[in-house]
Amino acid sequence: MLFSSLTFLYRFLPAVVILYAAVPKKFKNAVLLIASLIFYGWGEPRFLIVMLISIACGFVFGLLIDRTRGTPRSRLFLILSVTVSLGFLVYFKYAGFFVRTLNALGLGLPLVNIALPIGISFYTFQLVGYAADVYNGRAEACRNPLDFAAYTALFPQLIAGPIVRYRDIAGELKSRVVTPALAAEGTGRFITGLGKKVLLANAFGELAGVCRGAADPSVLTYWLYAGAVTLQTYFDFSGYSDMAIGLGRLFGFHFPENFDYPYTARSITEFWRRWHITLGRWFRDYVYIPLGGSRVKAGRHIVNILVVWMLTGFWHGADWQFILWGLFYGLLLILEKYGLRSLLPKLPAAAAHLYVMAAVIIGFVIFHSAGPAEAAADLGAMFGAGGLPLISAEALYYLRSYAVLLVIGIIGATPFVRKVSTPLSGSRAGGFLRCLWQAAVLLLVTAYLVDGSFNPFLYFRF
């Protein structure tokens, strides 16, 4: 089930909100758990078994880690918990990749075609982080299996994040209040994310598709494609995060922010502090720092960065282009830390932004490719390789047709709209205009969805 579907918007969500509001406090987590299991199992109910086993193991091992804390057995239980959680992820997500890679080296292993449970990367990371936090004393073990299952399966953030740590919402799992102000804030945030996804990300996805299938390609065609996938990815994922955070507010939870206008960054280091914030923090706390972080010699530090970013890329997808994408950013971060540290702050803002956006666009061309060969061909075409003309009539037609959308997308990826609307936010007129705007967005989204147009979620494959 998609957030951006008529079934979710006008059947599932209203039913859950009404039932949640009607039941006594002690049953609210049960309502959320049941709703989450229905949501998760809507398309592939067989994968509920994998999730429930993962939840049960995470809960039991958490209690054992806590009960034996300070002894060698606690570490053993941590290793077992992490092994079980990552074992499911490796089997379902990476088994096919490993078989293909080994076969490319000459082995004749039978190919495997294993369906990927939706959201497994996200709830696996939550379970691994929970076990590590209990082991290190950063979180108390959850002693209520219903609360723990509700936390792990919570449908607002289950499919594509943000990655919510148990310690951050442990108090709210036990007691929370949904005030009218919080519900209004959550509704507005959800509609904002819905508009980003359906009205912008989907449209940029269509532009990317027509550029990819162009009959008369040119250098301009490939740059339009690159710009489209760059904007599509941002509005798709940040839109989902907005929807997840907004839904969390509707049920009394305060999920962490996941995006902070990353395309306004002046360095790749800053970009990754603003993009998919919860994933970056997860790798920092559970991989980078345990490896030694930056408190090691330069050579080891470089290795640590490359390991983290190779894993970051591999987390996004079980194929070589994702690993290359991660290593590409790892190399840029090493360059910034050891070569450009003194130069970047001196660059004019426009030059710094240009550097970041050039790197981000190249990165997303790699990310969206079907493999390293296609990524190399796309990047080569962007810079004139292959004898393509600079401009074609078809590319100019697409540029004119999508010019307004591109301008809206570029402006929407900056804080401009927020800055303009902030002075009105506390006034009665501002509240009225905000409600009017949200109603208009919801109406447009509904019309778009009724039309049955292009509507995938990029991050569902993770």
Name the residues annotated as catalytic: 316
- Please, are residues 37 and 48 in contact by the beta-carbon 8 Å criterion? yes
Q: What is the DSSP letter of 290?
A: T
Nearest 5°: phi and psi at 125? Answer: -65, -35
Residues 402, 227: Cα–Cα separation, whole Å: 11
- Please, are residues 130 and 166 in contact by the beta-carbon 8 Å criterion? yes
HSE-CB for 45 with a 13 A CA cutoff: 2
Residue ranges in 200-348 assigned as alpha helix (H): 202-212, 219-250, 268-274, 277-283, 298-316, 320-338
Residue 433, SS3 per DSSP:
helix
Task: Report CA torsion sign: 407, 412, 413, 417.
Answer: positive
Instruction: Quote the radius of gyration of the chain (alpha carbons, Å).
Output: 23
Q: What is the DSSP letter of 392?
A: -
- Please, are residues 259 and 275 in contact by the beta-carbon 8 Å criterion? yes
Residue 67, CA distances (Å) to 62, 141, 148 in order: 9, 9, 17
Residue 248: which of 130, 163, 124, 167 has the closest Cα?
Answer: 163
